Structure 1
Amino acid sequence: MRYLHQYCFFAATVLFLLSCSSTQKVVMDPITVSSVRPGANIYRGSYTRLTDIIHTKLDLKFDWDSSHVIGKAFIQAKPWFYPSDSLVLSAKGFKIEQVALVKKDDLLPLKYTYDRKKLKIILDKTYTRDQKYTVYIQYVAMPSKLKVGEDIASSGDRGFYFVNADGKEKDMPQEFWTQGETECNSAWFPTIDGPQEKMTQEISLTVPSRMVTLSNGILDFSSDNGDGTRTDTWRQELPHSTYLTMVAAGNFTVVKDKWRDKEVSYYMEPEYAPNARLIFGKTPEMIEFFSRKTGVDYPWEKYSQIVVRNFLGGAMENTTATVFFDRMNLTKEQYLDETYEDIVSHELFHHWFGDLVTAESWANLPLNESFATYGEYLWNEYKYGRDYADQFGWKDLQTYLGSVKAKDADVIRYNYADREQMFDAVSYQKGGRILHMLRKTVGDEAFFKALNLYLTRNAYKTAEINDLRMSFEEVTGQDLNWFFNQWFLASGHPVLKIDSKYDMATKKVSVTISQQQDLSKVPLYRLPLAIDIYKSGKAERKEIVLEKQVQTFSWPSETEPQLINVDAEKYLLAEKKETKSLSQYIFQYSHAPLFLDRLEALQGLEVFAGEQRARKTIVMALDDRSWELRLKALNFISKLPEGERPEVYDKLKSMAINDTRSYVRAEAISNLKKFFKDRNNADILMKSASDKAPSVQKALSEK
């Protein structure tokens, strides 16, 4: 991720525009940029690689009074290809105290120039790509003093954050943490910015003895300095991108778990640590699932998750050490409403897609974020079933469709004005839905075999979109340029008008589909899809490929179908315009198997709300297996004629107590209080008083 930008909460568009008692899903961090600035049409490719950082060793101390980072950096590097006599590093707003070349046990002073952003070091000679050298830099980083608009673009680019540094803020712990994405780590140690630069690292942190530290990799050793401080040294021996480097320290309790023989740990404030296993306890199962699903075992030394105060967004997938915002400091009661499990799965899946294989440029960011978003779907599908996963897949689609600017942006885009624009509903939600379509297009076996090839071929390296395409082509034996060109390398989506009919005279079923998107801006799509034709309650599947602006498909049928279900797998990323009869919507709700089948049917039935048959079917959804659709049915009760409301009273009482989802229980209580004031609800409300979910308590307290 980073959910700095909007991963916190996206508003309730995803929940049928329901009441305030409905859930608010946390999404991974799209950013909002107000306009396309000059330069938007400049090609934003991969950064030119002049130098390769092999290893970075940092020795860090901290001045809490001034919020300074006092650092010593040893950077081992070599020219990337062409001979070079200099090293250029990003270093934002530093005080440079010494620059030298490490020669065995000696430090040879080196000349340098520094403009508060770039440190250019003149080496002692010209080095070839086969020759390594180590540079020593002694410095003071002052992230809190970086000037917005001069040193950094925004206050969110400081990279290093002290929380309650002077210890005077009541009820706020004293801690620090870092946030490196996109190019913020150079605000606290000298490095080469960009996702393309990968290195191993060793970081020593000297902190007050009472504090607990965390960084990437494993804790190599810890030493008491005898002056009230301790130095912890963390080592990561596997290469990762420089923006994934992190450090944190504070008053944390470490709750240890394990996956196979690797440590899994949860860092939380002591007050919340008793709930660590409740909040993060599914992590080992997630690691096992993703390892088996990709065919690539979790590739890092350990996995830690830490909850810090005042984090800029929702979470950040620093290698082996994910940072979460303090909304994860959940009580057992709050966990009844929101688990934030999607954030946990999203950031974990990044450890394959983003950390192990990293997008080689910000233009290719969807190779990180689309996969992490789809990781949420995969986990939900495995753990809770397809119905549940499709609920959240549909919400992702609505988030993308609801974003006006998103429709004009290519998924892989080389013309962004600001790299932060890449963190949007295109890279996340649209990209995740595209991966789902790719899976449905090639089939499950080929999809996961291709992902395995992509991960193993590019492990600990970077990749671009064509690397993904070629992995899929090698596995499937197909030319998939058509899919990647129309979905990953273009903007927009299909707008489909669907007309289905049965001709009694010719005894034929026909389906006409027209693509109505603006073809001057959006591709004419090639769309393989399935159509289910229901007769005598059973579906007969027809596979078609839509590849023209208007196409008609027809099949013989002795009888009129009960339902013609276009896009039967409900996987298309598209706007669909289709009208069915009341009987067809009723049949679809009762017989078509998927969450989106039932959702589409309920949405269609609302148009027929004046018909009793439509209302009865919507009321049936109070027993739907999806809590989302039960909630939708509860919100329909306000539209029932007063004479029909008594028929749902007993059901509402049962739902208020027994429904498995807290938001549904809360909405049932709200309905009882609003529409059945004349009934004796005291027993139900008394039983509900023992329900600790905040949403339920809120519903009980409302007048």
Structure 2
Amino acid sequence: MRISSILFLLCFAFSLFQAKAQNHQQRSESLDVQHYRFEITINDDNDRIAGKTTILIRFLKAGSEIQLDLDAFDFSSGKGMNVEKVFANSAELKFIQTKKQLLINTGKEINAGETLELTIEYSGVPADGLIIDQNRYGDRTFFGDNWPNRAHFWLPVVDHPSDKATLEFVVKAPGHYKVVSSGKLVEEKKLGNRQKLTHWQENVPLSTKVMVFGAADFVVGNDTVWNQIPVNSWVFKENREKGFHNYRYGTKALEYFSASIGPYSYEKLAHVQSKTRYGGMENAGCIFYNENSAISDKSQEDLFAHEVAHQWFGNSATEENWHHVWLSEGFATYLTHVYNQHFYGEEMFRNGLKKDRARVIGYFHRHPAPIIDTTVTEYIRLLNANSYQKASWFLHMLRHKLGDDVFFAGLRNYYREYQNKTALTSDFRKVMEETSGENLESFFDQWLRQAGHPVIDWSWQQTSDKTIEINIKQTQKQAFFSFPLEVKLDYKNGGSATFRINVSDSTTQQVLQVSGNIRDIELDPEVKLLFEAVK
């Protein structure tokens, strides 16, 4: 009996190590997580957590093996998760922990279309993902910080944006903590020994990158309800007055994007002061802002608009692969500009775009790469000026190519099609082509998959009182771009005229008809093109 058990485990280990070598695409074609129930116990004595995760999995193909992402205990650091037991229907299942994965054998083949609910009991000190730290006032706090794929440091999951599931967080904590998470509050009750249980449930499917909880000595305020959606602010108790003031933008972006894009997906919206490593982290219905946001004298409105925009693009309509993160960050960046254009006018809108353009140019000179850069394997590196500012500029140029009515109709159609789903760049392009009736393949390819931007060397001369000649040369080392370039002509006697020149070759010469002597010429006067001028 002992020999046969060892042989079984050896065969199982071999097959599962083969499974480990498979890529996520193969896993996603075999399994689909439907629901997670995370039961987490935290304490004030040490950083060790106890976890019990129940997972409902639907098999897309017949099989008996399940591959989850979970960081294993590491003796040298003393951190990582140690799985103690895995069971389904009260029967224990065989499993193996590798460095980054939990490999489970169901003991029998599960047919395609069938589901299996299994439970994993584990414990350990998270090496990342769950930030256990003191805030600026010395108070202990716990904050999930999963982006991009850091959930597996403390949760057994399919840690990939393509796999969405509904979820629950059931958190047992010392009674002084307030606990916030995605979804609606199901239960909050006192337990014995000065402990408290808090149960949140999210009925909208999420990617692991935005499923978290936070626990701290919060005060909660700015309570309001918009369109039956509860909205409030959670700040550290020391920041009650300043924090509630800084977080006063609770519903403004929510109302605006609901009207301009489509219905908000989640049960509530909580704005939370936190220890996130980012300026803000768009966790679904439960946005975590950096600790200083609640005490800064600088307006936080742009930060709020950006993170709220993510509730539509990034959280609800989610990039299916990290290399397409521009569908999240580029959208949120551009929609923040659009928000400012709506509320604060054209000058603020254009100044923001100019600032972003300078940042894109500077970044390219340091890191020449396209927006969709499949060479990146360390996904945190995708948080760069390409994914944010250049992708925002791509959307801005697409808007001017299609016109406002078609562009915003396309955004609404894209959101309607992929709300609470995942999408790739090709999916977005298809929607925009269907909405506009135009073939956008070359436009998408040159701006998203080609590195760089037009670098323009130009000159002009007035050949008569009725004509001028403009010479435009693309000098970048990369491939040439095709684009419309607007030029504004200022007359010496006052007045001006704007012309559009279509550029597609290395050199373009254009003769323009004018009505007097020209004093000066300005390229791109209305800030519509991403380019770098040599002159």
**TM-score for both structures, normalised by structure 2:** 0.90
Q: Which residue of structure 1 lines up, in the alignment, with residue 91 of structure 2?
A: 108
1:443 shift after superposition: 1.1
Paired AA for residue 83 in structure 1: A
Paired AA for residue 76 in structure 1: L
Match of 2:67 among 88, 93, 96: 88
Match of 2:214 among 242, 248, 266: 248
1:420 aligned onto 2:377: no
1:498 shift after superposition: 1.9
Q: Which moved more, 1:527-536 or 1:344-353?
A: 527-536
1:513 aligned onto 2:492: no
Q: Which residue of structure 1 lines up, in the alignment, with residue 35 of structure 2?
A: 55
Indicate how the Cα distance of structure 1 residues 170 and 305 shifts in structure 2: closer, same or farther if over 3 A, else same: closer
Q: Which residue of structure 2 lines up, in the alignment, with residue 160 of structure 1?
A: 130
CA contact (8 A) 2:44 2:174 kept: no
Counterpart Cα distance in 2 of 1:242 and 1:126: 27
Q: Which residue of structure 2 lines up, in the alignment, with residue 283 of structure 1?
A: 250
Counterpart Cα distance in 2 of 1:371 and 1:187: 28
Q: Which residue of structure 2 lines up, in the alignment, with residue 600 of structure 1?
A: none
1:48 shift after superposition: 4.5
1:524 shift after superposition: 1.0
Which has the larger Rg? 1
1:395 aligned onto 2:358: no
Indicate how the Cα distance of structure 1 residues 235 and 497 shifts in structure 2: closer, same or farther if over 3 A, else same: same
CA contact (8 A) 1:46 1:361 kept: no
Indicate how the Cα distance of structure 1 residues 417 and 250 shifts in structure 2: closer, same or farther if over 3 A, else same: closer
Q: Which residue of structure 2 lines up, in the alignment, with residue 258 of structure 1?
A: 225
Q: Which residue of structure 2 lines up, in the alignment, with residue 543 of structure 1?
A: 500
Percent of pairs identical after alignment? Answer: 25
3-state SS in 2 of match to 1:509: strand
Q: Which residue of structure 2 lines up, in the alignment, with residue 233 of structure 1?
A: 199
How many residues were matched structurally? 502
CA contact (8 A) 2:353 2:527 kept: no
3-state SS in 1 of match to 2:334: helix
CA contact (8 A) 1:401 1:407 kept: no
Counterpart Cα distance in 2 of 1:225 and 1:45: 41
1:244 shift after superposition: 1.0
Indicate how the Cα distance of structure 1 residues 170 and 421 shifts in structure 2: closer, same or farther if over 3 A, else same: closer
3-state SS in 2 of match to 1:528: strand
Deviations 1:83-137 (A, max 9, x none): 11111111112211111013xxxx1111111124211111132123310110011
3-state SS in 2 of match to 1:391: helix
Match of 1:554 among 511, 516, 522: 511
1:406 shift after superposition: 5.5
1:468 shift after superposition: 1.2
CA contact (8 A) 2:43 2:174 kept: no
Counterpart Cα distance in 2 of 1:539 and 1:170: 56
Paired AA for residue 492 in structure 1: G
Paired AA for residue 65 in structure 2: S
Match of 1:224 among 158, 179, 190: 190
CA contact (8 A) 1:245 1:319 kept: yes
Q: Which structure has more RCO (C-alpha within 8 Å, separation ≥ 6)?
A: 1
Counterpart Cα distance in 2 of 1:417 and 1:237: 32
Q: Which residue of structure 1 lines up, in the alignment, with residue 11 of structure 2?
A: none
Paired AA for residue 71 in structure 1: G
Counterpart Cα distance in 2 of 1:264 and 1:189: 28
CA contact (8 A) 2:179 2:214 kept: yes
Q: Which residue of structure 2 lines up, in the alignment, with residue 17 of structure 1?
A: none
Counterpart Cα distance in 2 of 1:110 and 1:434: 50
Gaps of 5+ in 2: 1-22, 73-80
Q: Which moved more, 1:458-467 or 1:549-558?
A: 549-558
CA contact (8 A) 1:210 1:251 kept: yes
1:405 shift after superposition: 5.7
Counterpart Cα distance in 1 of 2:348 and 2:26: 41
Indicate how the Cα distance of structure 1 residues 235 and 417 shifts in structure 2: closer, same or farther if over 3 A, else same: closer
Counterpart Cα distance in 2 of 1:515 and 1:559: 29
CA contact (8 A) 2:354 2:527 kept: no
Counterpart Cα distance in 2 of 1:575 and 1:319: 37
Indicate how the Cα distance of structure 1 residues 375 and 312 shifts in structure 2: closer, same or farther if over 3 A, else same: same
Q: Which residue of structure 2 lines up, in the alignment, with residue 64 of structure 1?
A: 44
CA contact (8 A) 1:45 1:414 kept: no
Paired AA for residue 542 in structure 1: F
3-state SS in 1 of match to 2:237: coil
CA contact (8 A) 1:195 1:359 kept: yes
1:75 aligned onto 2:50: no
Indicate how the Cα distance of structure 1 residues 496 and 405 shifts in structure 2: closer, same or farther if over 3 A, else same: closer
Q: Which runs of 4+ in 1 moved over 6 A?
A: none
**TM-score for both structures, normalised by structure 1:** 0.69
Counterpart Cα distance in 1 of 2:488 and 2:27: 51
Paired AA for residue 171 in structure 1: Y
1:45 shift after superposition: 8.9
1:236 shift after superposition: 0.2
Q: How does 1:218-617 map to 2 (within 5 A)?
A: 218-255=184-221, 256-294=223-261, 296-309=262-275, 311-330=276-295, 334-335=296-297, 338-404=298-364, 407-504=367-464, 507-518=466-477, 522-535=478-491, 537-578=494-535
**For the aligned residues, what is the CA RMSD?**
1.9
Q: Which residue of structure 2 lines up, in the alignment, with residue 198 of structure 1?
A: 164
Indicate how the Cα distance of structure 1 residues 378 and 558 shifts in structure 2: closer, same or farther if over 3 A, else same: closer
CA contact (8 A) 1:58 1:204 kept: yes
Counterpart Cα distance in 1 of 2:460 and 2:398: 26
CA contact (8 A) 1:63 1:70 kept: no
3-state SS in 1 of match to 2:42: strand
Q: Which residue of structure 2 lines up, in the alignment, with residue 98 of structure 1?
A: 85
CA contact (8 A) 2:244 2:294 kept: no
